[in-house]
A and B are shown apart, each in its own frame.
Chain A
Amino acid sequence: MVYEFYIFNNVGNCLFYLNLRGTTPEKNPQDKQKLIFGMMHTMKSMCRKFSPQPISVSPFTSYVTDAYKLHILETSSGLNFVMFTHPDMMDQTHSLKWIYSTIYCTFVIRNPFYEPKKPITSVVFKQKLEEYLLTLAR
């Protein structure tokens, strides 16, 4: 059960936001997005520093609370895919990778009307992503 889906770039701009919960939309999604980005950035650098061997890429992939589980995938191109799900969900790294390689690459990179660093407005991208996320039931 996926609750929300965000795509951030490495500067902190939220390129895409999808709410699958069906609740009323928030008045100021930008505030929440900034919070999420800040928290994600801190977690990534903290995890990297605590690692027993020195590594360059952050090993942070998810954290779980009683209310939700947060999954994150960071790509080499600086994109961060963040997903809020039900706390019992398994590790979703493989599905985030699939979203990147299939849905994002097809509907964003092949779209000549997409401008990098700007929010993604493609309707077909949102449809295909929503279809896929609704199949992630476990």
Chain B
Amino acid sequence: MLTQIVIPDITYNLLINEIIKYSVCTDPNLSLLESLKNLTKEDLQDKRQAMKEMGISVGERIIGFIVKEHVWTKEPNSLMRFICKELWMYLFGRYIGRLQANNKGVYIMYDYKFHWFQGLDLSESIDRENFEKFCSLALSWVCGVLKGAFKGLGKESSIEAGVEENNSCRFTITLKLG
């Protein structure tokens, strides 16, 4: 059993920030904010896809790492509970906050302590749109990890994420049943 370790996620929060900066800032003379302003919709979509693919690769591998200690199960609800507990424990050192299910393969996960975007002012700001672009890139990575984890467990899925007030994030997962 995995013992309770407190993993500060600051290190790879900062690393993900650098990956995003590397991907977005093609011109070294422009700051991150300006590079984000200059991104077209297609560019943003491409970069989100790239981050997602990075995440998928990580998710597939990490699930191989986790299941060596746990029993394989095919029932979707217990699969989701497994993800909420074990995967989040490996990634962030804690359990996810809340899981909602509608019994048709759509699940919503809420993480109330998602501290990655604490430094950004998402409430009212002129640069709010650009901050949101940045958040969507970081969340694409996490969505990719989730997608890769499901892939590793044999399930097709589609995942969307949104950031809410007070450092909480919502992940909407649609599992293909059967």
Instruction: State the A residues within 8 Å of B (CB).
Output: 106-115, 122-125, 127
Is the CB–CB distance between A122 and B121 below 8 Å?
A: yes
- Does B66 sit within 8 A of A, measured CB to CB? no
Select from chain A the residue with minimum beta-carbon distance to B36.
A113
The proximity string for B residues 109-123 relative to A, scoring 1 for CB distances below 8 Å and 0 otherwise, is: 000000110111101
Select from chain A the residue with minimum beta-carbon distance to B123.
A124
Is the CB–CB distance between A108 and B31 below 8 Å?
A: no
Is the CB–CB distance between B17 and A124 below 8 Å?
A: no
Chain A neighbourhood of B20, CB < 8 A? 112
Instruction: State the B residues within 8 Å of A (CB).
Output: 10, 13-14, 17, 20-21, 31-33, 115-116, 118-121, 123, 125, 131, 134
Bound complex: CA A125 to CA B125 (Å) = 13
Bound complex: CA A127 to CA B123 (Å) = 12
Chain B neighbourhood of A108, CB < 8 A? 119
Chain B neighbourhood of A123, CB < 8 A? 121, 125
Chain B neighbourhood of A124, CB < 8 A? 119-121, 123
Kindly identify which residue among B119, B121, B123, B134 contacts A109, using a CB–CB cutoff of 8 Å: B119
Select from chain A the residue with minimum beta-carbon distance to B120.
A111
Give 6 closest A-B pairs by Cβ, nearest first.
A111-B119, A110-B119, A124-B121, A112-B17, A123-B121, A106-B118
